[in-house]
Amino acid sequence: MLPCTQTLADLDWKPAGIILSGGPASVYAEGSPHADPAFFDLGVPMLGICYGLQEIAFRSSADNVVASTSREYGHAKLKAKRLGSHGSGHVDRLFEGLEDEFKVWMSHGDKLVRLPDGFQAIACTSNSEFAAVAHTSKPIYGLQLHPEVSHTENGNQILQNFAVRICGARPNWTMANFVDQEILRMQKLVGDGQVLGAVSGGVDSTVAAKLMQRAIGDRFHAVLVDTGLMRLKECEQVQETISRHLGINLTVADASRPFLDGLKGVTDPEQKRRFIGSKFIDIFEEEAKKIEIAAHSEMTGPVEWFLQGTLYPDVIESISFKGPSATIKTHHNLALPQRMIEGQGLRLIEPLRELFKDEVRDLGRQLGLPHELVMRHPFPGPGIAIRILGDITPERVEMVRQADDVFITMIREWDLYNRISQAYAALDTSRAVGVMGDQRAYENIIILRAVETTDFMTARAFPFDHEFLAQVSTRIVNEVKVGILIFGY
């Protein structure tokens, strides 16, 4: 993966093919990113996805791409066009082996209104006449859809057709090879030093911790920070999993008071995330000093490294990692203090940084983690702080904690947990009027959300049975004492 600012002249190898990715900008807008023109003259197969398709079309004529009057977000039905003998032999290869119609995931406000010179349409949707295009004589293709997300049917096959059948790449990457390579990389990076790692009990941090322990053994020290914003009995469960079941050195730091005090009066979710990210590092650096003193010996070096379970979706949502992706939300584990950015204090190590959630789960299985842990629903590092819309108080934290526990408990009771990718309760600090026990009630609003996804890049609402919704509503209203529930979709 390379940034869009990469030039061909600075590349010391020739790619077998090129994929131009999607992005949030409009190709016709001033200051929008554009690939080095030299890549288009390289003579290798090229595939443009979403913005990448529009980049290809825009190079031919600025009039080819416009803002659509009807945006296209979510599922759409794609109809492939088989050109056969009427087109060049390579044109149909992108959709080779696929049915003529299937569901795809769209996410665009701009669209092609004219074909670029030398291209022909190979698929359409009800909103996009040129949902997929191919050059008549060159192996250059464009897709308005997103084949890389799990909600596109046949998406992996489309990418395999391009990479393997069209570009001739060899599919020899395996997760087992990744484990061996990453362990060697971390061993060389750390040397005889020690590593401090943030764990939360979630699959990302636990997989990163197990990988580091496999690499350097007891020189890895996991730290769980009790922020006071954890789910019900979360700290006890994490201790049981990390320390007793996985055999990883674990320290629990109770920092609930400084976190809750520092969040008083903070309502903006971005400010919450940034404060929590910075405070996390403060706590970890304090713990590093204690661990270094306790674990000091002539055989081990100082605690110099800080391990995080950052994934690629975290990076995409937070910062422009390898190109101008839009900041969706700042992840606490990417809101680093300036001293770390400038190379002072602990140095960051992120072995999962370019993996997606489904790949991390596969990695967890490779490392021998139990199924229950590998499939655990994600829980954000900032915890309940970002599940309260507004000011944070201990009473509101407890309200969300109890509602979330009821929700997840009932999901398990109905045997739905492994069918749902993430579910949680949140609190809207607005209040609504209702009637309870023949009296006027003016109570808080609990929001329940549950989604299906594989890669955690796109998601859709889980289709709960109405009886489940009725029962979970009754329990939360009775046990948590809130007035209204909203089911988020």
Instruction: List the catalytic residues.
Output: 50, 146, 148
Q: How far apart are CA 476 and CA 484, in angstroms?
A: 9
End-to-end CA distance of the chain: 32
- Give pairs for 238-247: CB < 8 Å, separation 24+: 238/199, 238/200, 238/201, 241/201, 241/206, 241/373, 242/199, 242/201, 242/206, 242/209, 245/370, 246/206, 246/209, 246/210, 246/213, 246/369, 247/213
Q: Which residues of 41-53 are buried (b: 16+ CB within 10 A; e: fewer)?
A: eeebbbbbbbbbb
Q: How far apart are CA 182 and CA 199, in angstroms?
A: 19
Structure tokens at 222: 């996991």
For 252, list phi and psi in degrees, rounded to 5.
-105, 120
Structure tokens at 410: 């009932």
Q: Do residues 131 and 81 touch, judged by C-beta distance below 8 A?
A: no
Return the residue matching tokens 């959709």: 95
- Please report, for the chain, how many H helices and E strands are present, in that order: 13, 17
CA angle 227, 229, 230 (to 5 degrees): 95
By C-alpha distance, which of 75, 142, 64, 134 is closest to 107? 75
Q: Sign of the CA dihedral 474, 475, 479, 485?
A: negative
What three-state secondary structure class fits 143? strand
* β partners of residue 426: 447
Return the residue matching tokens 């595939």: 47
Q: How far apart are CA 38 and CA 21, in angstroms?
A: 17
Q: How far apart are CA 124 and CA 348, in angstroms?
A: 45
Structure tokens at 486: 């909203």
By C-alpha distance, which of 284, 285, 354, 352 is closest to 316? 354
By C-alpha distance, which of 287, 210, 222 is closest to 249? 222
Report the run of H or E that residue 347 belongs to, with start and end: strand 347-349
Residue 408's alpha-carbon distances to 137, 402, 423, 452, 453, in angstroms, are 55, 10, 7, 15, 17
